[in-house]
Amino acid sequence: MRIIYWDPTITIIADILIWVVFHLSIGYWCSQLPIDRFDYNQWSYQTFKWEQDGEIYQKLFRVKDWKHFIPSGAALYKGAYQISHVNEFTVEGVEIWLKESCRSEFCHRIMILPGFLFFLWNEVTVGWIMVAYAVLNNLIPIMMQRYNRPRIRKLLARLEEIEKKKAMETGIYEKQEAFSHSYE
């Protein structure tokens, strides 16, 4: 429902500038959220059966062919996590990677919402184009996260198994059940 009327040139400039502000401010806000807020075991970050461990994105959209062309928005924000900075794969490091994957997906979901505000100063057709832009622009990184997350989870499971095996070999690891009756 259009309530603001600008000259068409001003409207185009405003649309561009407002999108830039939305993208940068939402990205910055998300990068400042505590990482512990993101739980990769939360329902919305789980891989659903229809996603086939993320393979549906490869089958339908060939994610592996283009995902390396998509720049990381984290480079824009000081201190933000970038996968390119991972030097070694440890349980702790991979858990952070999983949480960052959830943060990225959350951020891109939120970036879709402002698309509906463009109806306030654009014609209905342009408003829907802005919504379509918001969905398409953010669906790509969401698909990338949902494609990668099952792989990261498998890596984490392997690393945990290796860590557990090493701990058992050195005698440091003790099953949790051993302590379950110690307070009786």
Residue 89's pLDDT is: 82
Q: Do the beta carbons of residue 147 and residue 58 sit within 8 Å?
A: yes
User: Rounded CA gap, 99 and 41, in Å?
Assistant: 10
Ramachandran angles phi, psi of 46, nearest 5°: -75, 155
Per-residue pLDDT reduced to its tens digit, 41-74:
999 999 999 999 999 999 999 998 988 888 777 7
Task: Tell me how many domains the chain contains.
Answer: 1
Q: Do the beta carbons of residue 54 and residue 101 sit within 8 Å?
A: no
Q: Decide if 183 is inside a domain.
A: no
Per-residue pLDDT reduced to its tens digit, 137-170:
999 999 999 999 999 999 999 999 988 888 888 7
Q: Decide if 32 is inside a domain.
A: yes
Q: Among residues 81, 72, 140, 137, which one has the least CA distance to residue 111?
A: 137
Q: Decide if 53 is inside a domain.
A: yes
Residue ranges in the chain assigned as alpha helix (H) = 8-32, 55-61, 63-66, 91-110, 124-170
User: Rounded CA gap, 150 and 98, in Å?
Assistant: 9
Q: Decide if 96 is inside a domain.
A: yes
Q: Decide if 27 is inside a domain.
A: yes
For residue 17, give its domain range: 8-77+85-168
User: Rounded CA gap, 157 and 173, in Å?
Assistant: 17
Tokens read off for 12: 């185009």
Evaluate if residue 38 carries a pLDDT over 70.
yes
Q: Do the beta carbons of residue 38 and residue 31 sit within 8 Å?
A: no
